[in-house]
Homo-oligomer: A and B are copies of this chain.
Amino acid sequence: MNSIRNALLADLYGLTMSACYFENRMVAPATFSLYIRKYGPHRSYYVSAGIDEVLDFLERFQYLDEELDFLQSTGLFSTDFLNHLEKLRFTGELFAIPEGRLFFKDEPILEITAPIMEAQLVETFVINAVNLQVSIASKAARCNHAAGGKSLVDFSLRRTQGTDAGMKVARASFIAGFGATSNVLAGKLYSIPIAGTMAHSFVLSFEEEIEAFRAFARTFPESTVLLIDTYDTVSGAKKAARVGREMLERGHKLKGVRLDSGDTAKLSKEVRRILDEAGLSEVIIFASGGFDEFEIEEVLSKGARIDAFGVGTKMGVSADAPYNDIAYKLVEYDGRPVLKLSRAKKTLVNQKQVFRVTRDGKMTGDTIGVRTEALEGAPLLECMMRNGKRLAALEPLPRIRERFLAEFSSLAPPNKAIVNPEIYPVHLSPMLEAAQKRTIREVKKRELGESS
């Protein structure tokens, strides 16, 4: 609905490779794994997100006439191949870790098994959809953890990387514990609570700051949050307190004030005192301007009297980790385990499953095994699509959010530290380890002429 779900939203090489598969009658099933190869800065966990969009894309996947016309115009493809594309649909199977669950480096977020051409043609979109929402949900989870119970509002829309990102950031941050978004369209489409205050421009458009405050309070007698730093935060707080008293006299309540600049830890204490002395102790202090998990942790450690944060740009672009080292890799073709040789970048062969052991409500470790193994722990990857048909029902966002909050509380505090967290234990099963070694040995012998 909100993002482009077009079969041409893909890298050209998917089509050229497919043309070659077509000519060589290569139709055997292939399994691709999507996983993160390396933790980003201070990252020690990821939150699954974006799976629903992938399912939707796969179910609708097809090339329309005007798209085929364009492909023909490139001169790269045979008519036979284009006729084949016209009839092509996604007929494969998808296993994935449900949205809102935690996962770790090397663990497959999803695995797709389908005739190789189908699995290849959807690559670009699948990575794009999952990568962004995982980045944002994970960054937002870190913000929520740092805030330790204070409410968070997504303020990022103006500086997200495009409009599709703006929608996905609202969705992913809500999954990861945010309470509301400023994005009105996300409120409409995803039923996320919406919130907002006022801009400096509003204050500037009145002759005097206090007149701006009074006008807003008249229009919104129950939900006014006054932005008090347009000229000077302390002087703004005093004017807000005056307007707050006037509202009380009319039987209304000022909801809050917002700080958007300066030393917010220090200013918040001063503003709190001004409000309290005016008998406005229920008026909340809302802070915005450059916050992410690092700044939230810092101001709270300085004893800031802040009740809620507007978290914008840095969360909305995951500024310290704007992309993941995420890859969609072929791990099995026609029943044969395969991998790319690389010292730095590990691919795990075979169709896989991840088993999570939880003891007394605490996650103690994961094991990545072969899909058919029965290991200790609860399997994470669920079959969500078979024969191109979605099995998993659409889940309401609040349910995904609850799943996240419950699982996050079972992760040990050292694994969620904002700076230099401990790495959560993830093992390979002996069976997967053996298959891995065997495949590497065979490949080296065949391609590099090395003896085992």
Chain A interface residues (CB < 8 Å from chain B): 2-6, 8-17, 19-21, 23-24, 26, 30, 32, 67, 70-71, 74, 76, 116, 120, 123-125, 127-128, 131-132, 135, 155, 157-168, 182-185, 187-188, 194-205, 208-209, 215-216, 218-220, 223, 230-232, 235, 261, 313-314, 316-319, 322-324, 326, 328-330, 333, 338-342, 344-345, 443-444, 446-448
Contact = CB atoms under 8 A, between A and B. Distances in A.
A274 to B, nearest CB: 16
Contacts of A333: 204-205
A78 to B, nearest CB: 9
A196 B13 contact: yes
A165 B157 contact: no
B323 A313 contact: yes
A167 B322 contact: no
B164 A162 contact: yes
Contact of A17 (B199, B319, B339, B444): B199
Q: How many copies does the complex hold?
A: 2
A196 B17 CA distance: 10
Given A67-B188, A232-B447, A182 B13 contact: yes
Contact of A124 (B116, B157, B194): B157
Contacts of A345: 261
A235 B185 CA distance: 54
Nearest to A71: B184
A429 to B, nearest CB: 23
Given A20-B202, A231-B443, A447-B208, A326 B30 contact: no
Nearest to A209: B447
28 contacts: A9-B184, A11-B196, A13-B202, A16-B198, A17-B198, A17-B201, A19-B219, A20-B215, A74-B187, A116-B201, A123-B158, A128-B157, A128-B159, A135-B161, A159-B323, A159-B326, A161-B161, A161-B165, A162-B162, A203-B340, A204-B330, A204-B339, A208-B447, A230-B340, A232-B448, A261-B345, A317-B322, A318-B322
A263 to B, nearest CB: 12
Given A124-B157, A131-B158, A326-B159, A223 B76 contact: yes
A349 to B, nearest CB: 10
A97 to B, nearest CB: 20
B158 A127 contact: yes
Contacts of A132: 160-162
Contacts of A444: 231
B17 A235 contact: no
List of 9 A-B pairs having minimum Cβ-Cβ separation, nearest first: A12-B196, A162-B164, A201-B330, A13-B196, A161-B161, A164-B164, A162-B165, A322-B322, A8-B185
